[in-house]
Amino acid sequence: MDYRDAGVDIAAADAAKARIRRLARGTFNAAVLSDIGSFGGMFRPDLSRYAEPVLVASTDSVGTKVKVAAAAGVHDTVGQDIVNHCVNDILVQGAVPLFFLDYLALARMDPERVEAIVSGLARACSEAGCPLIGGETAEMPDLYAEGDYDLAGFIVGVVERARALTGERVRAGDHLLGLPSSGLHTNGYTLARRVLFERLGLDLHATVPELGSTLVQALLAPHRSYLAVLEPLLERDKIAALAHITGGGFQGNLPRVLPPGLGARIRLDAWTPPPLFRLIQRGGAVPVDEMYRTFNMGIGMVAFVSPADLHEVEHSLDRRGERSVLMGSVVEGEGVLLE
């Protein structure tokens, strides 16, 4: 009996890693000092423009969105999802990415599937200027059912300490500007799948007139990165704080950057949630509060902006084609009020 008989194919793993190496090398820059396949990724950042650089790190996973990708046989978008999610998570502290690593675990090593997943990772890393310097690809048939896999990411970025966003600059009266999401992003898929597939019995590849697309296109729309539209404003110190609207919605994420004694008031009539959210709410008879606690409802990032900077921020976003929503304000008190 050998390892392959036990369920782990080393030859397939070697083939997959060769494809990963080719894709990852396409994201490298001069700061990368090691090749894919080393025990550790080596990175020598140029921090000369920082007076007091602070490293910011984050990790996350795509969650059960991979179940939709596996069912559809579409795997490149989840790679974009995990990179962009992690980029946004450090962006809320004012950091720009330095490098990225991934973790991919599968029931069975399939070099073509691995290549598709990593192609999405590489594409998003290149767009963010964030080299993919290493990671782990593991075949674990005893942990995952046939066809299943899990995808997680790890990012390290840097910010000038004096410009780090910690929430300390937030004041009562600051405006809340919402930036549109591209869909569900990477949260709420367990509930969404139950409603859309089990309750409504929708076919993944069917065109849904209400959505103007197939269901799979709507569900696998990549998680947006807000780096390009927000970095210029961060460099000019025009943002007081940022909140990435992921699991927990507004109630779970806005308080993470609000100082003690301050809350937020959100006007729900400031924007209309996209059709996919309305389909889920109606199809599952999901209470409104539960929708806003589970999903981003069409707003993927919230910027806290002082009244003095509001016009400049809106103008900057508009010039980049960003449709921001003036959705509320910071108020005295605690918690998040949806009205």
Structure tokens at 296: 């981003």
How confident is the model over 120-135, as pLDDT tens digits?
999 999 999 999 999 9
| CA–CA separation, 273 and 170 (whole Å) | 27
Residue (of 30, 45, 152, 145) closest to 97 by Cα position: 45
Give pLDDT, residue 1: 64
The mean of the pLDDT values for the chain is: 94
Domains 3-163 and 175-338 share a fold: no
Q: Does 330 score more than 90 pLDDT? A: yes
Q: Does 4 score more than 70 pLDDT? A: no
Find the mean pLDDT for residues 9-13.
75
Which positions ≥6 away from 259 have C-beta within 8 Å? 167, 168, 170
Hey, CA dihedral for 242, 247, 249, 254, is it positive or negative? negative
Task: Please list the helix, strand and coil fractions of the chain in percent, rounded to the nearest 5, in that order.
Answer: 40, 25, 40
Alpha-helical (H) ranges within the chain are 3-6, 10-25, 65-72, 76-91, 111-128, 189-193, 215-219, 227-235, 249-253, 275-284, 288-294, 310-319
For 31-72, the DSSP string reads: TB-S-TTSSS--B----TT-SSEEEEEEEEE-TTHHHHHHHH
Find the mean pLDDT for residues 256-283.
96
pLDDT category of residue 266 using cuts at 50, 70 and 90: very high
Structurally, what CATH architecture does the domain formed by 3-163 represent? 2-Layer Sandwich (3.30)
Give pLDDT, residue 26: 96
Q: Does 152 score more than 60 pLDDT? A: yes
Find the mean pLDDT for residues 45-49.
96
Q: Does 39 score more than 70 pLDDT? A: yes
Give pLDDT, residue 162: 96
Give pLDDT, residue 2: 54
Could you give phi then psi for residue 252, rounded to 5 degrees? Answer: -90, -20
**Domains of the chain: which residue ranges?**
3-163, 175-338
pLDDT category of residue 37 using cuts at 50, 70 and 90: confident
- H or E segment and range at residue 259: none
Find the mean pLDDT for residues 145-166.
96
pLDDT category of residue 7 using cuts at 50, 70 and 90: low
Find the mean pLDDT for residues 272-279.
97
How confident is the model over 210-228, as pLDDT tens digits?
999 999 999 999 999 999 9
| CA–CA separation, 186 and 190 (whole Å) | 10
Q: Does 190 score more than 70 pLDDT? A: yes
Superfamily of domain 175-338: PurM-like C-terminal domain (3.90.650.10)
Give pLDDT, residue 88: 98
Which positions ≥6 away from 185 have C-beta within 8 Å? 81, 85, 223, 224, 246, 296, 300
Give pLDDT, residue 13: 77
pLDDT category of residue 272 using cuts at 50, 70 and 90: very high
